[in-house]
Structures are given as structure tokens and as C-alpha cells.
Structure 1
Amino acid sequence: MAATCSWKLDKETGQDALIVKFSNGHVKKAEELDFQLYKHSDDDNPRKKTRRIVVAESDRLPYAGSNFGAGSLQCNNLCRYFVGVLDKETMQMKVHTAQLFNMLPVIPGESAQNEDTKQPETHREKVDALIEAFGTTKQKRALSSRRLNEVGNETLQQAVALAATNVINQKGVEALRNEVVETEAQTDTALFLPPCNTEADKAEDVYPFDQLLSPNEFDALKDVGAKMAALTPEDLQKMRAENCPQTVLRHLELLPKEDTARDRQSRCIWYLSFLLKVSSQKRLTFKFGIEDGCPKIINNKVLRNFTVESFHNGSLRNTLSTSMRMKLAAHCLALLLHMGDQKANLTILHRDIRISDVRMLEVAKAMGLTLSRQSAHSREEVGTQEEHRMASLVLPLVHYDRRIERRKRKRMN
């Protein structure tokens, strides 16, 4: 029967066992190597007090290894190693914590050369030096060509940096930001449309509801949706006096009586009102929506999908650019299609989301919606009629040709 042994952690010495690995081969006579251990003199600095250097000297070459710097093994930071020493008399194994050192040969003269320069030579620089000394004509020609390309790239980068500095000094940061916003507004609207399934057989599957609100996000709107469903006519009158978005008020007045449909519609109405509130902001913070009881998953979704991150004085900002407002309009329009039997009022939506009527039509055309006109009561003058733009999703989707405006030529006198 084989003998058994027990092991225990050795806490008496308080020092780690050292495991060395030679990078250039195996050591045949390890007992002839003279090992020395050096530790950092600054014991108070928590980053330097654990630094160790192991030096091994032989008849041919000295070796050195450290647990910090570029030559150290990264596994020391990711794993913890132990070494067990078995006492055959007591059959007990003492376990010591260990560190691994990668022993590299120290070539005489190389370290002195590196001390003269601030940074040690890289592998590429060493190979280039060998090519210059012992390379063939073809290798030297290739080396010269590569160095010329590097000089050309560096010169180009310096020229670009100088040109950018001059433009910033001449126009200023604010003017450049305005140009960026205008450029974003001219970008193709299709890049900011919600996910679309062009091969869908049903109209409600073209812009899937799950892509607008995931099941987890829809479940998070349960409490705030219940508050929307419980609003009284007096509450609606108060909201109307506070200039609540007309799109939200119209859907609140037409809430269905059936419980399941009412619950689903009220959640969508609250989410729509939150998106419209976001569209009126220029800059959003992580605390935005807390007063309204906005779920954290919804707030993170809006910050991630409808804002642009930028740094200002060391802090992170979430701004709502013109392009993001267009994306927000497309998202609201797709949500309204699900809320209104695949029909939506573009005139009221563009007023609530504060974009022009032309841009609202561009979004609707990019989504492939069918456009029409409908008479409605004016909100400014009681008893008068006004014409509203309506959009409906009808299969197949409509493909609109983009008109390219041509400048008129000036007549030569």
C-alpha cells in the first residue's frame, strides 16, 4: 500500500519560493550557478516593495530575471503558484508560495550601450543594424526604401497636424463643432433608421416591436405604465395646460378599455413621452429621468443609442446632436405605427420632437411609408381646419427617388 502524506502551508519564513526559467535552454549543472536575490530598497512604496531581481552567474554568461517590467512573466499577475517540499521522514509536505522568473542572458556591452540611450533598442532596430552590417544588397535596398517611407509618413503626419492646428486657430472650436453638426445632418437618413425586415409578410413585422423595446425593457415599464393608465380627466386637463406633447395627449385620450391592450398602450405612451422629453434636451446626464421614475435600463438605452459621447474638461458628456435627433424621430415614428394600427400623424410628431416638416418627411420616406393628407382641427384657432401629413405602413414599402437639386447657371452678359 502506498504511503500517504499530508501538507500544510508554511508561514514561518514569510518569503516566496523562487522558480527560475532559462529562456535559452536547459541548465546542465545548476549547482554551479551562483544565485543572488535583490529587492527594492523602498519598502514603503506599495508598488515597489514587491519588486525582485534574481541574478545567476555562470562561467560563460550571467543571467538576470525580474518580476516587473517588460521582461517579467505576466502569469505572476494572473495566477498564484505554490511549491511543495516533502519531508520523507515525517511524510509531511510544506507548501510555499512561489514566484516565476524568466532568466535572460546578459550580453557584455549591450547593457552599457542601452544606458546611453533613454529607450532600449527594439527587435526591429537590432535586425536593421544586422542588415546594415552583414545584409545583402537586396536587403539593404529594402531597408532603405522602408526608412524613406517612414520618413514620408512622419512628414505627412506633421503636415496634417500643422494644418489642423491652423484651422482650429482660424475658425475656433465652436465654429468647427457647428460644421460637424451640419455635416451629420446631411448624412444619409437610412443610417439612423430602426431595424427593418423588408421581407416581412405582415406590416407589424416590418419594424419589429421587440427591436424597439426588448422584453426586459418592456417589463421594466410596468410601474410607470400603470401610472399612465390611472390618469383621470382632471390629470389630462392639467397636462394639457402644462403644454404636454399633443402626440402623448391624443393617445392618452384614446386608451383602450381592455386590460391587456390598455397596459401595453400605456407603457408605450410613457416611453414615447420620455423620448419626446429627451428630444428637447441638448445635453443629458446619468441622473436624467430619475424624477420621472425612469427605469435604469431605459435610461441606459437612451444614453447609448441616442446620444453622442464627448469629453469636456476631463468629464464625459452625452449630447444630442442633429443626427441623433433624426434617429430619435425615426424611432418615435416606428413606435407610433405600432400604437396607431400602423398609422401616424407626422405633423403633430414633428412639432413635438422639434424638427422641421421637411426633415420629418425625409424620415418617413426613408422608412418606406405611404404619405397622405388629412384635415384636422387647428390647435391655434378653435373652429378652423388645417391639413395634417399622415404616414401609414403598407406592404410593399414605397421606394422614393431622391431629388438632387441643381444650381442654376448664371447668365453671362
Structure 2
Amino acid sequence: MAAACTLVCCKEESETDKAVVVQFSNGNLESPGQLDYTFYKNIDERNPRKKARRTLVAESERLSYAGHNFGTGSLKCNNLCKYYVGVLNKRTMQMELHSAQLFKLQPIIPGEKTETDTSQDVGQTYRQKVDSLIEAFGTVKQKRALSSRRLNQVGSDTLHHMVSKTANDMIDQKGLEVLQQEVAQTQSQDVAVYLPPCHPNAERPEDVYLFDDLLSPVEFEALGEGGSKMAALTPKELQKMRDDGGCLSVVKQVEILPSDDKAKEKTVRCAYYLYLLLKLVQERRISRKFFQKHGCPPVIQNKLMNTFTVDMFNDGKLLNIVSASMCAKVASHGLALLLHVGHMTADLTLLHRDLGITEPRMLEVAKAMGLTISKNSHRKANDAVLTDGHRRASLILPLVKYEQYMERKRLKKKMR
């Protein structure tokens, strides 16, 4: 009596582990084991339509065969049914069932035109057909002109490809909205759109750039804890901030705190807010860890993110960055803040060094705000006037209106 055989169903297998069942279109091979088989898969695994495409190639000394599980030459039953192959283990008398793929191998005859070649010949344009005739029967002059035209076309196509690739990379990196904002800024070269709200007809200098437009009462109240930390800084800590750089404007305000309690509280809170603005520009790429590191209240965190950062897309991630246009916005708001705590006078040199922008850019912001520009100076006991080279901006009514045409004319003359 023959031994009983039991079936064992294997677990679900991946595409690479499936068994391959081959059918030859031109008959059955007497010795299929003598063929060299190679299995290929599509490299575009992200595309759901292409990731399952497979190609099987069998090679012998006389002829080569190829089969696909996609396209016109594939077996249509692949998509409609699931196939399994049984493998009998003679020792345990158990038959294991494995998933299988079916391929129909067709011989590849050298010199025979494929379907792709035929479709390409049919799709040739009139210009391509004429070029083929010139290559075969044209004169030397015609062939030389054809070669020159093709070289120019290759250079043009390469340049177009590089420009398109660079543009796509910039769009993926920054995002379309950020690029549009920077293009508009470059074309206009006008920083007025990044200035705080202005009231040029105000009767007092303090009302030209209102303090409530810079910091609302709720935001000013939220800065209390940070202002207390600023007031408690020791001379050693202030010296360390001065040595590290990037916060000279803040150090100067903390070192000369007013004696009045109300004015002192306003100064230290504004100094802490200015400190956050400067660190924002220095960091450039802003994340939640930035605000946790500096102990920023949630109200101020939302204000900084919504007012002084733009969205950027990088590798599918949304980032908040401080662009060049946002640096000008930080400079104008920081300058207006210094005017309020400095009796309508601010040191432009320290501020532009802290922000890391050029002095002409800082002067452009101050002039757009209508401020009066001067150089810092003081007198000694012998009435000698000394100048330390620092530029200062003062808010004096009426506001100064600078002519942009004259400024551009001077700039062009200087460049010549």
C-alpha cells in the first residue's frame, strides 16, 4: 500500500520568493536545466503600477529567450488567477504549496525588429526623415550642417534640462509661495511693506509707531518672566553675552536700566523680546526646540512664528525659516522697539551687527521709516568732539522723506 501524502500550506510569500513556471512558445526543451536564467524587477518600486513588473531571461549557447508578466506578450491569466506549485518532500511525505508566477518565454532572434522599433519608425517626423536621408545620401556640406545643428540642439536641450531641474529643486526646497515673495522683493527693492504700522500725521513721536502695534497688552504681559530674568543678569553674564556677540543691543539696554520701576519693567521686557528677535534671525531655521530653549511663552511663540517666519518645504517636511525679507522685517520692528525704550533714538550700528546684515541695508530700513540719520559723538572736558563711528537713528517730526531716485543715482555713480 502506498504511503499517505499530506498537504502543508506555506505562509504568504513575497514577490521574490515565488516559484516561477515557464512556458516556451516554440515547444518543449529536452534539457531546460542547461539554460541560464536571470530574473529582473522594475527599479521604480514607488509606482504601484510598475513595482510588480518582472522580466525573466533564459540564455543558451544558440538562442536567448525572454518573457514578461506585463505588456502584450504576457499571459493574461496572471492578473485573473493565483497559481500554486506543490513540492513533495519524499522523506516526510508532505507536499508544500508555494505561490507561483507564470511566464511565456519567446525566442529573441538577432536582427529582428521589435514592436518598440516599429513604433519609433512610424512616429518619425518629417525633419527626422530628411535628416536620415542626408546621413545616407547627402553631400559633405549637408552632413556638416546637420552635425552642427544637432550639436546646438544637444546644448540647448542640456541647458533647458539643467534650468528646469534647478527650478524644480528650488521649488521643492523653499516652496512656491516663498519664491514668489522673494522675487517680488527683488524686483521692487522696497522695504516699506515690511515696516510696522506707521502714523505719519501723529502729534507726538511716540505715536508714529505705536507700542501696541509692536506688542499688544497681552503679549507685553506674557514677557514678564523673561524680563525678570533679563533684570537678574549678573555683570559676568552680560560680559559673556557681549563676548559671544549677536546681542550687543540687548546688553546695552540692560546695562543702562532707568531708575523708575515702571520704565525699568518696560525696558527689561522689551530687551527680552528683542533678544528673541535677534536669536530668531541667527537661528534661521526655527523649530519648537528653539522656543523651549529660550523659555518663550506660547503667546510670543505664536507671534514670532506667524509674523517673522515663512513656510518652506524640504523633503516633504514643512519648515519655518527666516528669509531675507523677514530679516528686514525683524530689523524694522527691532528698530521701532529700540526707539521706544531709548527716548526715540537707537544705535543702528549695534543693531545691524547683531542681525548680521550690511550697514547699507540697515540704513535703507531706517530711511524707509523716515528716521533722521546721524553719527554718534560726545564731548570731553576740553570740548573736543569725538566720534566712535556708530550711526544713530532718531525719530523727529516731521518724518524725513528720502528721494529714492537720488539714492539710486548715487549708487550707480559709485559703482562706475
Aligned-residue offset at 1:182? 6.7
CA distance in 2, matches of 1:202, 1:264: 19
Q: Which residue of 2 aligns with 1:191?
A: 193
CA distance in 2, matches of 1:319, 1:166: 26
Q: Which residue of 2 aligns with 1:331?
A: 333
Q: Does the 8 A contact of 1:376 with 1:387 survive in 2?
A: no
TM-score (ref. length: structure 2): 0.53
Instruction: Please give the per-residue CA displacement for 1:324-381, whole angstroms capped at 9, x wherever unaligned.
Output: 101110010000000100000111110011100000000000000011112489xxxx
- Counterpart among 295, 309, 312 of residue 310 in structure 1: 312
Q: Which residue of 2 aligns with 1:230?
A: 232
Q: Which residue of 2 aligns with 1:259?
A: 261
Instruction: Please give the per-residue CA displacement for 1:251-301, whole angstroms capped at 9, x wherever unaligned.
Output: 111011222111111000000111011111221113322122111111111
Aligned-residue offset at 1:198? 1.4
- Counterpart among 163, 168, 181 of residue 164 in structure 2: 168
Structure 2: which amino acid aligns with 1:184? Q
- Counterpart among 244, 268, 271 of residue 269 in structure 1: 271
Q: Which residue of 1 aligns with 2:376?
A: 374
Instruction: Please give the per-residue CA displacement for 1:109-153, whole angstroms capped at 9, x wherever unaligned.
Output: xxxxxxxxxxxxxxxxxxxxxxxxxxxxxxxxxxxxxxxxxxxxx
Structure 1: which amino acid aligns with 2:165? N
What secondary structure does 1:386 align onto? strand
Q: Which residue of 1 aligns with 2:54?
A: none
Structure 1 runs (4+) deviating above 6 angstroms are 163-166, 175-180
CA distance in 2, matches of 1:270, 1:407: 40
Structure 1: which amino acid aligns with 2:296? C
Q: Which residue of 2 aligns with 1:282?
A: 284
Q: Which runs of 5+ in 2 are unaligned?
A: 1-158, 380-385
- Counterpart among 357, 365, 375 of residue 355 in structure 1: 357
Aligned-residue offset at 1:165? 7.9
CA distance in 2, matches of 1:170, 1:326: 27
CA distance in 1, matches of 2:372, 2:245: 30
Aligned-residue offset at 1:386? 3.0
Structure 2: which amino acid aligns with 1:344? A
Structure 1: which amino acid aligns with 2:193? L
Instruction: Please give the per-residue CA displacement for 1:213-266, whole angstroms capped at 9, x wherever unaligned.
Output: 000000000111111112232332333333352111111110112221111110
Q: Which residue of 2 aligns with 1:389?
A: 391
Q: Does the 8 A contact of 1:288 with 1:299 survive in 2?
A: no
Aligned-residue offset at 1:315? 2.0
Q: Does the 8 A contact of 2:241 with 2:248 survive in 1?
A: no
Report 1:208-247 matches (<5 A): 208-243=210-245, 245-247=247-249
CA distance in 1, matches of 2:295, 2:273: 12
Aligned-residue offset at 1:396? 0.6
Q: Does the 8 A contact of 1:204 with 1:338 survive in 2?
A: yes
Q: Which residue of 2 aligns with 1:12?
A: none
What secondary structure does 2:375 align onto? strand
Instruction: Please give the per-residue CA displacement for 1:145-168, whole angstroms capped at 9, x wherever unaligned.
Output: xxxxxxxxxxxxxxxxxx998742
What secondary structure does 1:280 align onto? helix
CA distance in 2, matches of 1:164, 1:213: 49
CA distance in 1, matches of 2:304, 2:214: 11
CA distance in 1, matches of 2:161, 2:199: 45
Aligned-residue offset at 1:183? 5.6
Q: Which runs of 5+ in 1 are unaligned?
A: 1-162, 378-383, 409-413
CA distance in 1, matches of 2:355, 2:166: 35
What secondary structure does 2:240 align onto? helix
Q: Does the 8 A contact of 2:375 with 2:387 survive in 1?
A: no
Structure 2: which amino acid aligns with 1:168? S
Alpha-carbon distance change, 208 to 324 in structure 1, aligned in 2, over 3 angstroms: same
Provide the aligned C-alpha RMSD in A. Answer: 2.9
CA distance in 1, matches of 2:278, 2:203: 31
Aligned-residue offset at 1:310? 2.2
Name which of structure 1's ranges 362-371 and 183-192 shifts more when overlaid on structure 2: 183-192
CA distance in 2, matches of 1:195, 1:407: 31
Larger radius of gyration: 2
What secondary structure does 1:310 align onto? strand
Structure 2: which amino acid aligns with 1:265? T
- Counterpart among 250, 253, 258 of residue 252 in structure 2: 250
Structure having the higher helix fraction is: 2
TM-score (ref. length: structure 1): 0.53
Aligned-residue offset at 1:174? 4.4
CA distance in 2, matches of 1:301, 1:293: 15
Structure 1: which amino acid aligns with 2:343? D
Q: Which residue of 2 aligns with 1:365?
A: 367
CA distance in 2, matches of 1:196, 1:246: 27
CA distance in 2, matches of 1:239, 1:356: 21
Q: Which residue of 2 aligns with 1:137?
A: none
